[in-house]
A and B are shown apart, each in its own frame.
Chain A
Amino acid sequence: MERNRVTSAIAGGIAGTAVLTLLLILLEVQTREQIRAFDVIARFVGTPGQTAVGFVLFVLAGVFAWPLLFVALRDYIPRGPDPAAQGTIFAVVLWIAFAIAGRGDLSGAILILYTAYTFFAHLAYGFTLGVVYGHFREGSQVPREYYAGQ
């Protein structure tokens, strides 16, 4: 069933944002609220102090803005034609912005965990975005390769 690029991208965005949010909640709870992931989000989207507004913007960006940007830029993103691999590359760029803009006054050892886990969470976002997008799109096939032996 062929969907057009925009709806496929948004479907990918919904799935990816769900995964990313889940991972951030897990991170939040697991680290006993030392990272305050939702304040991080608010700082990231530029509404420090207004966590609810920040979160809504975060969801909008995750569902609409990034996926559409991803589709627009796909030809320039390395590791194609597999959209999932491209999605992870794309997400690394997002993560850099997220990690820097959202860092706030986190410092010391917690930064190590913060950096590592948000990296992983963003890869999961990009990967999910790509997989779901590719799932709906015909144009996203990966060439079939054969293993040549050792």
Chain B
Amino acid sequence: MVSIDSVPGVVLGVALLAVLAGVGVVRRRRAMADGGYPTTDERETETETEKPFGLVRWFTTVDHKDIGILYIVYGLVAALWGGTDAMMLRTELITPGKTIWGTETYNGLFTTHGVTMIFLFALPVFFGIANYFLPILIGADDMSFPRINAIAFWLLPPALVLVRGGLITEIIAKVISPLGLTALTAPLLALKPIDISWTMYTPLSTAVANPQVDLALLGLHLSGIATTMGAINFIVTIFAERSEDVTWATLDIFSWTMLTTSAIALFAFPVLGSALIMLFLDRNFGTAFFALDGGGPMLWQHLFWFWGHPEVYILVLPAFGLVSLILPKFSGRKLFGFKFVVYSTLAIGVLSFGVWAHHMFTTGMDPRVRASFMAVSIAIAIPSAVKVFNWMTTMWSGRIRLTAPMILLVGGIGTFIIGGVTGVFLASIPIDLLLHDTYYVVGHFHFIIMGVIAAAMVAASYYWFPILTRRMYDQRVARVQAVLLIVGVVVTFTPLLILGYLGMPRRYAYYPAEFTLLQQIATAGAYVIGVSVFLWITNMIQSMRTGPLVMNADVWNLKETGQFTREWQWFEERLEERRSFERSESGTAPPGDDD
């Protein structure tokens, strides 16, 4: 039979071309005379029209704000894809035996899920937020190296394609198969999604034949290069581009955390890059870095975790920065103990390089080395706890306003406490010997990753939405979404902690029947998270198009508590520019024009 799967490919290709051509040919019309308004806001002030039109603008931009948005969109695509993996994982776990896919696909799913979330989603989103706001917060015109900034971003899409290969190549093979080019489609179909887990431990990762693993290694290497370039750019920008009135003493907390994160990345990612290349050479060119008579599998683990542990702080520090920045705004008070939050950030930055072997307690390394890593691992909890207490004292007797971002932050701090305390337990050797490689570990890091990291991102999207789009979103839906996200995280990951205590190992598609109920509760929680993500996306997209226009820059009433910070002042100036432009264009003054 002529493969039916090929028909949609051809139709799709033609249709996409037609749409592109259509959009390219048709220019948007100007403002309507009857006071009506097009669905998107297309009229541009003078500064805005300096940019090229349409798609060209996005492919050629070196403006930090545009690049920031590109990063965020990219991270969102990765998150949705990795989230689809997660939903499939959880669906497979509804029944103890094979529910839908079974072991092989499950292995592929948790690998691509982990890799996508860690490498392609989390940091790109923070780099995006920072790209947009950090220059504004420190009074810089742009990043130090705008072109390197653009290059660093544009390395990421190929990285995504390489890492997630397998499926993408399968789609391409289906699209071109009617042309009958088996010579082309056969190698494409040979690429299977990788299934060696995101830790890529040797000897498994050197032994598997799947050529997709090599492509994924190159893709990860590429994303590491991109991260290093971005990190250097942030560091130089913060050192060299601050406006005169921004000193080290008045640098905002988000910039401090981005500085520390970038510094950690600068030291950690080159190690990962080297390790990836060594693995690549071992697989393809007969080197013996990780062979038994070479460095052995332990060498891989040391190199991997020398990057891997700092990486978790690379991800969490920007989230801490956002919490520290936004929380005071809805507490009506200044951040309590600003200095100590900065010091604890720097302390984490240094200590994060001294704990990596706590991921290797069960490998049989020298007990004295093990003990020292345990000591440092427990010590690193202190600066994190300092922050938590600072956040609590910030809210203490403050005037709390439970807006959507605030709900996410408070909930995120709560889930972070669970994630952090379970981490202290894992840092202690005797407990880790019991809990290593169980669901407890998965529960622990998801409480942090989904709890505070994802929550802080969403909170930032709500907090700064008016600046990004000049519009307001539906705040009621946003509050519902915030609560659903936090509830979903707790419902999903608490059962995992319990499963771990009961001894259920991670990374298994099948499990003994007595764990069924806990697994099903976790799956239900995951679907709640899915619903909340859906609400967030629809709210963002629809509000971006038709949300009520913001006329007064003080959206959150920050002036009355003296917290109308730089980015909002910048926003106020832009609104003013826009208003005088509209006045000159239409002759009628929009409301709020009198202030």
Q: What is the interface of chain A, defined by CB distance below 8 A to chain B?
A: 1, 11, 14-15, 17-18, 21-22, 24-26, 28-32, 34, 38, 51-52, 55-56, 59, 82-85, 108-110, 112-113, 116, 120, 123, 127, 131-132, 134-136, 138, 140-150
A100 → chain B closest CB, angstroms: 21
User: In this complex, what residue of B is CB-closest to A54?
Assistant: B4
Chain A interface helix/strand/loop/mixed: helix
Q: Within the assembled complex, what's the spacing in Å between the Cα atoms of A51 and B3?
A: 10
Tell yes or no: B555 within 8 A of A by CB.
yes
On whether the beta carbons of B15 and A21 are closer than 8 Å, the reply is yes
* Chain B, residue nearest A33 (CB): B5
- A146, B16: Cα distance in complex, Å: 36
Q: Quick check: A14 and B18 within 8 Å, CB to CB?
A: yes
| A1→B38 CA distance, assembly (Å) | 13
B167 within 8 A of A: yes
Does A143 lie within 8 Å of B550, measured CB to CB? no
With both chains docked as a complex, state the minimum distance between the C-beta of B211 and any C-beta of chain A, in angstroms: 18
A sample of 27 inter-chain contacts (CB < 8 A) reads: A11-B19, A25-B8, A25-B12, A31-B88, A38-B4, A38-B8, A52-B4, A52-B7, A55-B8, A82-B546, A84-B39, A85-B546, A109-B95, A109-B99, A112-B91, A112-B527, A116-B87, A116-B530, A140-B39, A142-B38, A146-B549, A146-B592, A147-B472, A147-B549, A147-B555, A149-B555, A150-B556
**Of B19, B99, B591, which one neighbours A146 at CB under 8 angstroms?**
B591
**B residues less than 8 Å from A148 (CB atoms):** 548
Query: How far is it, in angstroms, between the C-alpha of A127 and the C-alpha of B471 when the chains are bound?
Result: 20
Cβ–Cβ < 8 Å partners of B541 in chain A: 127
Check B105 for interface membership: any CB of A closer than 8 A.
yes
C-alpha gap A64/B310 in the complex (Å): 55
Other 8 A-B pairs with CB < 8 A, given A24-B8, A84-B39, A149-B552: A11-B19, A82-B546, A112-B527, A135-B26, A146-B590, A147-B551, A147-B555, A149-B557
Q: Which of B29-37, B235-243, B480-488 forms part of the interface with chain A?
A: B29-37
Tell me the complex Cα distance, A134–B389, Å. 51
A127 — which chain B residues lie within 8 A by C-beta?
Answer: 541
Residues of B within 8 A of A56 (CB): 7
B450 interface contact, C-beta 8 A: no
CB pair B15 A108 closer than 8 Å: no
**A144–B37 contact, CB under 8 A?**
yes
Chain A neighbourhood of B466, CB < 8 A: 147
Interface centre among B471, B545, B556 (most CB of A within 10 A): B545
* Chain A min CB distance to B129 (Å): 22
Residue of A18, A108, A143 with most chain B CB atoms under a 10 A cut-off? A18
User: Most chain-A CB neighbours within 10 Å: which of B5, B8, B12, B555?
Assistant: B8
**Within 8 Å of chain A (Cβ to Cβ): is B501?**
no
Is B208 part of the contact surface with A, judged by Cβ < 8 Å?
A: no
Tell me which residues from 156 to 200 in chain B have a Cβ below 8 Å from any Cβ of chain A. 167, 170-171, 174
In this complex, which of B7, B99, B557 has the most chain A Cβ atoms within 10 angstroms of its Cβ? B7
Give the one of A84, A123, A127, A135 with max B CB within 10 A: A135
Contacts of A38 in B (CB 8 A): 4-5, 8
Least Cβ–Cβ distance between B23 and chain A, in angstroms = 8
User: Which of the residues B15, B170, B546 comes within 8 Å of A17, measured between beta carbons?
Assistant: B15
In the complex, which of the residues B19, B170, B527 has the most CB atoms of chain A within 10 Å of its own CB atom?
Answer: B19
Contact in complex: A147, B550 (CB < 8 Å): yes
Chain B residues, CB < 8 A from A26 = 171
- Are the CB atoms of A18 and B16 closer together than 8 Å? yes
Nearest Cβ on chain A to B561's Cβ, whole angstroms: 14
Q: Are A110 and B8 in contact (CB under 8 A)?
A: no
Chain A residues with Cβ below 8 Å from B287 are: none
Which residues of chain A are within 8 angstroms of B100 by Cβ–Cβ distance? 31, 34, 108-110
A51-B4 in contact (CB<8A): yes
In the A-B complex, the 5 residue pairs with the smallest Cβ-Cβ separation, listed nearest first, are A141-B36, A18-B15, A51-B4, A144-B37, A147-B548
Give per-residue flags for B36-55: 1 if the beta carbon is below 8 A from chain A beta carbons, else 0. Answer: 11110000000000000000
- Complex CA gap A26/B35 in Å reads 42
Across the interface, which residues of A come within 8 angstroms of B286, CB to CB? Answer: none
B5 contacts across to A, CB distance below 8 A = 28, 38
Given A38-B5, A52-B4, A135-B26, A144 and B12 contact (CB-CB distance below 8 Å): no
Nearest residue (CB) in B for A41 is B8
Contact (Cβ within 8 A) B101 A32: yes
Confirm or deny: B22 has a beta carbon within 8 angstroms of a beta carbon on chain A: yes
Interface membership of B292, Cβ < 8 A: no
Give bound CA distance, A38 to B84, whole Å.
20
Whether, in the assembled complex, B343 has its beta carbon less than 8 Å from a beta carbon of chain A, the answer is no
* Complex CA distance for A21 and B94, rounded to whole angstroms: 29
Residue of A nearest to B27 (CB): A1
Separation of A98 and B27 alpha carbons in the complex (Å): 35
Chain B, Cβ-Cβ closest to A113: B91
Cβ of B569 under 8 Å from chain A: no
CA distance A29 to B85 in the complex (A): 12
Complex CA gap A26/B85 in Å reads: 12
CB distance from B509 to the nearest CB of A (A): 13
Please report the C-alpha to C-alpha distance between residue A10 and residue B191 in the assembled complex, in whole angstroms: 38
Query: Complex: how many Å from CA A11 to CA B24?
Result: 13
Partner of A141, one of B38, B101, B550, B557: B38
B110-148 CB mask vs A (1 if < 8 Å, else 0) is 000000000000000000000000000000000000000
Bound together, the chains give a CA A55 to CA B2 distance in angstroms of 14
Q: Is the CB of A146 within 8 A of B551?
A: yes
- Complex: chain B residue closest to A53, CB-CB: B4
User: How far in angstroms is the closest Cβ of chain A from B523?
Assistant: 9
Give A4 to B241 CA distance when docked, in angstroms.
53
CA distance A92 to B87 in the complex (A): 22
